[in-house]
Structure 1
Amino acid sequence: MRHTNAAGYVKEYDFSALPVAEPMQRSLARLVAAHCTPHGWSSHGTSKSYWEKAKKFADFLSGLEDPPRDLDGVTAAMVKRWRLNQPPTGGGFETVHKLTSLLRSDARLQAGPVADELAVRVRRPKSTTQSYAEDELEQIKLAARRVFRAALLRIRENTECLERWRAGEIAEGSQEWVIGEVLDLLARTGGLPVTVHPCGTATLPRRYRRALGGSRGEVTWQRLFLSGMEAAAMGVLLMAEYGWNLAVIDRAEVPRATPDPGEDGHPTYRIPLEKRRRGAGHHFETRNVTDDGASSPGRLISEVLEATRCARAVVEDLAPGTDLLVVWHNTKSNQTQSDMDRPAPVGRFHFGVSSTMAKRWGQAHGLDGSPFRRGRRTVNALDRRQPGQNTQETHDRNYVLVDKRVQAEAVEVIAAGAENAAGRAHEAVLVAELRNAPVPGDTETATTDCRDYDDGPFPAPEGGCGASFLMCLGCENARVHPGHHPRLAHFHRALDSLHSVLPPRDWKKHWQDAHTRLEDLKGKLGEGQWAQALDRVTDADIEMIDFLLTGDLSS
């Protein structure tokens, strides 16, 4: 099977190598191939992931005592056994989710016990990736800034030398003039001429080596171009400033600057971004940032443009229209890369930051690996507090709600909100909304109906509502309709009786607020309607109120 990605590159998958019968091989190949269309999977990463899941399933089937020859021979017991064999990790969840969705697209597995087993939902494990502490991220940014700043100053100094050489401001024949000649060659071609000796070794001409101080990359091409690790440092800064992931950095186009309408003329950059994880129709986004000082959001863009200026000029000559922002130089010309979803190299120049480069950079600066995943979580969930490459739902579920630092910082906010809500409930007496009939979709509680149990003024640490049912009448999410009147009228009468036997201190602490709200409700409904409600009290109402009074149904 062959899959052509969005860039036009082809990747092949050999289903005949799977350890199952040929009919099963063909069925699995057809299921994967059905998605490898112009309107389906656009990246090799996606098709490769599903291929790997299909291969794991084939390996499982081949280990059975009586392996099925085709998908119509797969039983519900086989599917259940395979599912239970997956580890309770993110990888195991992904395997189950992708393979079951793939198998459900086969017409033979869309009804019956197998279909029911494939439809069983598996709980997504909580993410184990946590954000960096504030000082940790600052140290990472400081390390990246040091590397990138040194590269920027080096390129700036040599670019100025090149401009003076081209303007004829350097004495011909001097060492600085020779350096200018070398820089001009680099800026026009991206490389330097070499002498190939009979033994096969290649060296720079002697006059160049003497003027440059050797032939190492540090004193030759790095005068105008970033190295791979310097580009990785630049990527870390882009992640920390804007929350970009590696895929966005790979494809970030060169921003266009428009002068500020004010007298200062500060440039405002229009940055077009491609965010594939946002889903169809939301892949592209544009952001504007202004460079109006050293600490402004747009200053980093100005510096990135300056650091990649010479490299981008060479790339434009070699491959007009490439127009990518993050460009760096590789010592090997026309070197291919295994990941064909990433932009292809142009001559000696590569684009973006690969996951391998990110990991190497992190390890070189004392980290366990790449700083991008944890760094983006920190920036998007805590600093920017908005989605980066994902939808709002994914951002909240996978980045914000599971992050311990977010949870810790939210404690005071939740407590203050709950305290404020409680205060308003006591002051307003009856906050619940009075309705003439139930509202479809509301959730029934012991005393009222609730329109939004998961997002109320009294959140519980583990989610949902943390308030007692006694507080429902003091909640803005609560709704009271005539079906509640008998139970609430009985509750009011029971509290009147309780008032006469309880010590004043206990009454005030546990029951006075609820009684006051019921008094307010009674006044709003009127004596006649209240009396009718008491005539309609059922055994279920009495039992429910008994539970409330004894504490068996406190929340």
Structure 2
Amino acid sequence: MSDAMRGWLAEALEGATGPSGGYRTVASARTLWRAIRSFTAYLSMLEAIPTVPGHLRGVHWDGFLLAQPRPSRAGLICAMRAVMRCARDVPEDFAIRMQRNSTGREHSRKLPSYTPAEFARITGAAKADVRACVRRIRAGRTLMAAWRAGQIERGADRRRWEQGWLLDHIDRHDEVPHYTNGTTHNKSTQHGGTAVLFAQLYPTHRDLAAAATLLICLTGHNLSTVVSLPVSHHRPDGDAGSTRTAIVEAVKPRRGRTLASMSVALSDTRGDRGEQVDLSSAFAVYRLLEQMCGPVRERAGTDQLFAYFTPKRGMQFLPGLRGQAIGEWSRSIELRSDRVDPVTGEPGPLLVDTRRLRTTWLQLHQTPVAHTETTLANDYLARDRGNLAEYQQVVATTLAEQVDAARREPLMGTVNAEQITRARTEPDTVAAEIGVTTPELNQLIDGALDTVLGGCLDNTHGPHAPAGQACTASFLLCLSCPCARATPAHLPVIVATHDRLREHAAAMTPLRWAQRFAGPLAQLSEIMHRFPAAVLDDARARIDAGHQELVEQLLSRALDRR
């Protein structure tokens, strides 16, 4: 490969992985590098090797793809496209052909979620293995401490004494005892061997695979975010008896340079459980990993929460978690799926896919994690076909319940234009018609009682606060409050709120939208039906930036007292 081609590709790689690029981790940079290496290897086999970027043509791209194994083809397309976006003067024919190819990822990304039973099965298996790890390491460290304190008599309990001696030697020297000729001491073999003894003091990659799976099941975060968590954290509760919470600074590079860094709150509402192995919350699992991985972190010289030992290539202490660990752990626990094999009639294997775990968590909780509501609805839940029918039924049921509940509530009273006109000459009559006093009618028409969606006649004797106390309920509850009245002057905000709620349906998950806004939308629609269409059209035409800003504050709860 010519220097010109190497320099051109190196410059593109630098752009993709640099401060302004989207590939900000070592793993993602390696992915791009492997794609470039595959591309240059293909070009080097051609009779007429392109020596400068301008010699690249569409046929080179087609030949490169045909030369790649089908399983890796989609990944190479995405990686090379990422590199070429940062390359200078990409030949037009080459660029057009490169963008034309479908990656096939649109279909592959439609990951089905696990069923609730499968998700619970995986969570339970992860908890069982993490609990076993904690108990094993606590037992080993307790035995070592007892041996060091002289609490184990060699003659009375020779095996426990030998085990304590071996663990003490491992902790001090990071290796099992050896004879003077370099061979391993036979006591080590008698007690299970090197790997078994080390595992009594330090977590293995299998243990951390279970722990990473459990944290995903508890938080809904990506695997990369979980395994890169640091051990340093902030305790806003000060461990003073309130809800225990650890604020951890995490990184999700795919969100871009301005959003990659984020604070993750790992909370525990279950309270202190003393010496019991508590795995009920993300906070509890985080604290256990902090304790269990501590000696490994010290030896590995890392601040990462995840750190483990491996007997491969000698005894090593490593940070993070290697890529295949969760797959290996998944196959070893031999869980069974809810789906039955049509050939054998038996449940098929239930393999752990962290992307499916995240999708399942998002579907179950309907809450965005390190992304927006729009991303949750359009990118994550839209590609989940695992429980679509069940989910649609839940949404339909929730929607019907919310609308029925809203219609059972008495609606806010309204004053029409004809009554406003008559109020100038017949104030007492109009006041009686709408159920207010004459002074209240005058204040209502003058706008002196305005809130957001109407006017409030008495904010200290409403149904949402004790008598005599100012109402602090959301202004959306004014739609069913007996103290509220709406006049034609309030219609621009009412119409704008109605329209904005409809728009919110595209930016939120269907279930969350139904839970939060289906009821208010039904109430707004009923109120608007009391006015002629021409009046509503006029109100919609009068909506200005001030009305829109007020509606945004209302729906974002910026106006609520908390």
Counterparts of 1:262 and 1:49 in 2: how far apart (Å)? 43
SS of 2:140's partner is helix
Alpha carbons 1:145, 1:233 under 8 Å: kept: yes
Aligned-pair CA distance for 1:239: 2.0
CA distance 1:82–1:299, change in 2 (3 Å):
same
Aligned-pair CA distance for 1:382: 2.3
The 5 Å alignment of 1:104-115 reads 104-109=85-90
Matching of residue 301 in structure 1 with residue 286 in structure 2: yes
Identify which of 371, 389, 396 aligns with 2:353: 371
Answer with 151-160 or 100-109: which moved more: 100-109
SS of 1:285's partner is strand
Counterparts of 1:144 and 1:90 in 2: how far apart (Å)? 30
Whichever residue aligns with residue 417 of structure 1, its letter is L
Identify which of 314, 322, 327 aligns with 1:359: 327
Aligned-pair CA distance for 1:133: 0.8
Alpha carbons 2:234, 2:248 under 8 Å: kept: no
Alpha carbons 1:54, 1:99 under 8 Å: kept: yes
Counterparts of 1:90 and 1:395 in 2: how far apart (Å)? 28
CA distance 1:393–1:90, change in 2 (3 Å):
farther
Matching of residue 103 in structure 1 with residue 84 in structure 2: yes
Gaps of 5+ in 2: 335-348, 417-478, 480-487, 490-495, 511-520, 539-562
The 5 Å alignment of 1:203-282 reads 203-204=184-185, 206=186, 208-209=187-188, 213-217=190-194, 219-254=196-231, 256=233, 268-281=245-258, 282=260
Matching of residue 186 in structure 1 with residue 170 in structure 2: yes
Counterparts of 2:354 and 2:376 in 1: how far apart (Å)? 16
Whichever residue aligns with residue 358 of structure 1, its letter is I
Counterparts of 1:525 and 1:356 in 2: how far apart (Å)? 61
- Work out which structure has the larger RCO, using CA pairs closer than 8 Å and 6 or more positions apart in sequence: 2
SS of 1:349's partner is strand
The 5 Å alignment of 1:408-487 reads 408-414=390-396, 416-417=398-399, 455-456=504-505
Alpha carbons 1:32, 1:102 under 8 Å: kept: yes
Aligned-pair CA distance for 1:136: 0.9
Counterparts of 2:242 and 2:54 in 1: how far apart (Å)? 69
Matching of residue 325 in structure 1 with residue 305 in structure 2: yes
Counterparts of 1:351 and 1:92 in 2: how far apart (Å)? 31
Counterparts of 1:90 and 1:264 in 2: how far apart (Å)? 53
Whichever residue aligns with residue 521 of structure 1, its letter is A
Counterparts of 1:415 and 1:83 in 2: how far apart (Å)? 52
Counterparts of 2:506 and 2:378 in 1: how far apart (Å)? 20
Alpha carbons 2:176, 2:194 under 8 Å: kept: no
* % identity of equivalent residues: 20
Counterparts of 2:67 and 2:524 in 1: how far apart (Å)? 41
Gaps of 5+ in 1: 1-15, 336-346, 436-441, 443-448, 462-473, 479-512, 527-555
SS of 1:152's partner is helix
CA distance 1:393–1:196, change in 2 (3 Å):
farther
Aligned-pair CA distance for 1:328: 2.0
Q: What is residue 272 of structure 2 aligned with on the other side?
A: 292
Alpha carbons 1:23, 1:69 under 8 Å: kept: yes
SS of 2:89's partner is helix
Count of paired positions: 420
Aligned-pair CA distance for 1:518: 11
Alpha carbons 1:252, 1:325 under 8 Å: kept: yes
Whichever residue aligns with residue 224 of structure 2, its letter is A
CA distance 1:381–1:79, change in 2 (3 Å):
farther
Alpha carbons 1:271, 1:287 under 8 Å: kept: yes
Whichever residue aligns with residue 48 of structure 1, its letter is R
Aligned-pair CA distance for 1:34: 4.0
Aligned-pair CA distance for 1:354: 1.6
Counterparts of 1:84 and 1:220 in 2: how far apart (Å)? 49
Aligned-pair CA distance for 1:219: 4.9
CA distance 1:36–1:134, change in 2 (3 Å):
closer
CA distance 1:67–1:188, change in 2 (3 Å):
closer
Aligned-pair CA distance for 1:361: 0.9
Aligned-pair CA distance for 1:331: 1.9
Alpha carbons 1:269, 1:298 under 8 Å: kept: yes
User: TM-score, normalized by length of structure 2?
Assistant: 0.58
SS of 2:141's partner is helix
Whichever residue aligns with residue 327 of structure 2, its letter is K
CA deviation string 1:238-293 (max 9, x = no partner): 22222343323432222558596687588543433233233213324242423534
Q: What is residue 166 of structure 1 aligned with on the other side?
A: 148
Whichever residue aligns with residue 275 of structure 1, its letter is K
User: TM-score, normalized by length of structure 1?
Assistant: 0.59
Aligned-pair CA distance for 1:405: 4.2
Counterparts of 2:101 and 2:9 in 1: how far apart (Å)? 22
